[in-house]
Structure 1
Amino acid sequence: MSTSIEARTEASVAAGVQAAIAAYAHALDAGRNDDIAELFQPEGVAEIAGVATFEGRDAIRAGYAAFAPTRPQLHLVANTVITSWTEDEATAVSNLAFFQRDDSGWAVQLVGRYDDTLRRHDTTWLFQRRVTTFLP
């Protein structure tokens, strides 16, 4: 019986983490900075390695305004692995590819990875810390 409960809990955690990661990508691509900020815990941290670190929702909202899309863009997030979890906190790592479209079509602009720590807030999972690293 405990295996079944554990599996449901693990599945629930994974679903919540995946939902937060997907919501972030959609909000980022649409330039919805308020939505991005709300995906973080109030004291959450968004670090873009080598670029900037934003601490707290107000700083995240203001910081991401500088990254507002000027043309169609798409973040594809894949290969997410939950590296540790409890009922209230999880860590995950994901690969990302960032595309932009211009007159000649879609092109990869960069690739990287996300290292995330998320915490449950009521029934929703929010980022406590998200580190974005771009790969050479």
Structure 2
Amino acid sequence: MLNADDRFALQELVNRYAYYIDLWQIDAWAGLFTPDGVLDESPAGMGTYAGREAIAVYGAELKADVLHVVHLMMNHVILNWDESRATGGVFALVEANTRSGGHVRHYIRYEDSYVRTSDGWQFEKRTILPMFPPQIIS
């Protein structure tokens, strides 16, 4: 059984992902992944980024295009686990204002693989799955 400390650490990992990217703390955000971790946005029509460096470069690209963003994370579940690995998922509502004046709303689900490292729990892989088509607000 997953103990309370591990469960809390995994919830904290998921929440820090949203917090760091929303505040444009790109290095901290990329540091939530293992050195060879993968952020896969291909199901949403975007790219796949392998390794912290590629994830950080992508984060900087987002920052250049997006003025404001907020991730509202909800319904986090941990589905499978053992001593060193776990899988889970979380739903998110993401609101973003672009630097060109647009406003986009995304309803997504993250599908996660977590691994315990010497630095604690980290993302081994995070896949973004759209729940609805993005809404262009303005």
Aligned length: 125
RMSD of aligned Cα (Å):
1.9
Letter in 2 for 1:33: I
Matching residue of 1:35: 28
Q: TM-score, normalised by structure 1?
A: 0.83
Question: Could you list the per-position Cα deviations for residues 87-124 of structure 1 after superposition, in whole angstroms to 9, with x for gaps in the alignment?
Answer: 2111001100012469xxxx771101000001111252
Ranges in structure 1 where 5+ consecutive residues have no aligned partner: 1-5
**Pairing 1:119–2:112 present:** no
Contact 1:13 1:90 in 2 (8 A): no
Larger radius of gyration: 1
Contact 1:43 1:56 in 2 (8 A): yes
Q: TM-score, normalised by structure 2?
A: 0.82
2:38 to 27, 32, 45: 45
Q: Percent identity?
A: 29
Shift of 1:54: 0.4
1:134 to 123, 130, 135: 130
Distance 1:46 1:133 in 2: 12
Distance 1:100 1:44 in 2: 25
Distance 2:67 2:90 in 1: 24
Letter in 2 for 1:47: D
Shift of 1:56: 0.6
Aligned counterparts, 1:1-136, within 5 A: 6=1, 9-48=2-41, 49=43, 50-68=45-63, 70-100=66-96, 109-122=105-118, 124-136=120-132
Secondary structure at the aligned position of 1:67 is classed as helix
Matching residue of 1:3: none
